[in-house]
Amino acid sequence: MRCAASRTIAVALTVLGSGARPALAETPVPPGVTGEEPPCGWSEGIEAGPRQQLLIARRKAKCEEVRSYEPALLERQILLFEQAERPPITRWNLFGLYPRVQSIDHRSQWAGGLRFWRPDLGESRFDLNGSAFWSLQGFQYYEAQAGFLPHRGASFPLFSYKTDDVFELPNVGQDDDVPYMAYGSFGYRWAPKFDYFGTGPDSELEDQADFRQKDTLVEAVAGYRVMKRLTVVGRVGHYRASIGPGEDEDLPQIEDVFPPSEVPGFGSKPDFVRYGLAGILDGRDVPRNPHRGGLLAAQWMRWDHRDGSEFSFDRLAIDARGYLALGHPQRVLAARAYFSRDVPLDEGGRVPFYLLAFLGNSHTLRGYASQRFRGEKLLLLQAEYRIEASPAIEVALFVDSGAVAARSEDSLERFQTDGGVGLRFKTHELTAVRADFAWGSDGFKFLFRFSPSF
């Protein structure tokens, strides 16, 4: 358009200078030009005075310098960030080895390590996965998995010790690649600083004690997506743990605070055969960044103590979530209800304290310490109002409320509640970084995680 304007101006100037009517049909066309649009700044064949020629030359020089806008380096990075199109740094790897920094367990804080990930090995469906992590608090975790692992595209599978947690089931049930899973898994965990506050709703913050937990898990897992939204998973394996003195010098040991009757399973041999079934009905629009839809996950698991049935138990857990866009997909109301109940197989039997379900972490009661409330039965209710300031930035207002019962036959009466605000950085597919600021009756908690809340 600017080139055409140059020609029009030049013609007009010529006409004004000569007083004659323009004869556009007689304007010569330069050799080699076949289209209707002349080359940028062309003025050959047009008679004009010196001043007009100077104006034409300036217009021609300006036209030739016109280029499409190219944002600078910093602006490009900001645009990619705002549009959630920046590829995550975790995709960088060296021969399938991915350096990672993340939280691996309760109280582990940040851990550094490597993940080995070779999906679809040799253009087959067979996958290999391995991990090795060490944290600033002395935690260690190692695992190896082989077979047909559940994963979406090239995304990492979950750590093996998380895949039997009903909270994590929604992340392994739906697989975009194939409808089945079948794999073997080995995991080893060294946790030198786990917390114990007692069982039931009356546990006190000042009774916080310390213990060490070392455990190994070997199991086989198989699953199949029987319908578009429904996946079933079965597993069988062997779990062995070693419980001992904790390494937190600022906390007392369990036996110095609690009598043996309040620490079920302390001193017993933690050796279990376990097996169970799970089902996941997933109706979310985007599984790891939902704006609408819902999800229902349920699991039954039996823990069979190999040294007698006193500490054997069944666990039934249900996790239900719903997501509703409030007038616009960038404003979402998210709600969750989570229920877990452990039933000892023997009358008068107990669930070992180190296997009790609990509330208090970045996914449950965010305003309380990790593993704050333990019990054989618990109920959790959560709600979040999420606002996307941009495709990559989300602000959330949240409230959590939950209760535990020391024994499965006890009622759930004393609910603990917290609330706060969260800031999330994400892509269209998932939440990459989450910072939550929460307040509960125990005080203020700041949480920095590499995973969604729910």
pLDDT in tens, 108-164: 888 889 989 888 887 788 889 999 999 988 999 999 999 998 877 667 777 776 666
Query: Contact 158/171 with Cβ under 8 angstroms?
Result: yes
Work out the end-to-end distance of the chain between its first and last CA atoms, rounded to an integer number of angstroms: 54
What count of other Cβ atoms lies within 10 Å of the Cβ of residue 74?
Answer: 8
What is the pTM (predicted TM-score) of this model? 0.76
CA-only gyration radius of the chain, Å: 32
pLDDT, residue 180, reads 86
pLDDT score recorded for residue 154: 64
Backbone torsions φ then ψ of 355, nearest 5 degrees = -110, 0
Distances (CA, A) of 121 to 55, 118, 125, 154: 67, 6, 7, 12
Residue % of the chain over a pLDDT of 90: 45
State the average pLDDT over residues 315-329.
94
The amino acid present at 234, given as its one-letter code, is: G
Architecture of domain 91-379: Beta Barrel (2.40)
Does residue 201 contact residue 307 with C-beta atoms inside 8 Å? no
Across residues 391-396, what is the average pLDDT? 91
- Chain-centre distance for alpha carbon 98: 17
Residue 300 has pLDDT above 90, yes or no: yes
Contact 393, 424 (CB under 8 A): yes
Give the span between the Cα atoms of 132 and 116, in whole angstroms: 9
Find the length of the chain: 454
Q: How many CB atoms lie within 10 A of CB 57?
A: 12
86-95 pLDDT tens trace: 555 556 777 7
359's CB contacts (< 8 A; 6+ apart) are 365, 368, 372, 373, 378, 380, 402, 404, 416
HSE-up of residue 372 (Cα within 13 Å, Cβ side): 26
- In whole numbers, what is the pLDDT of the chain averaged over residues? 82
Instruction: Identify which of 147, 136, 134, 236 has the alpha carbon closest to the alpha carbon of residue 189.
Output: 134
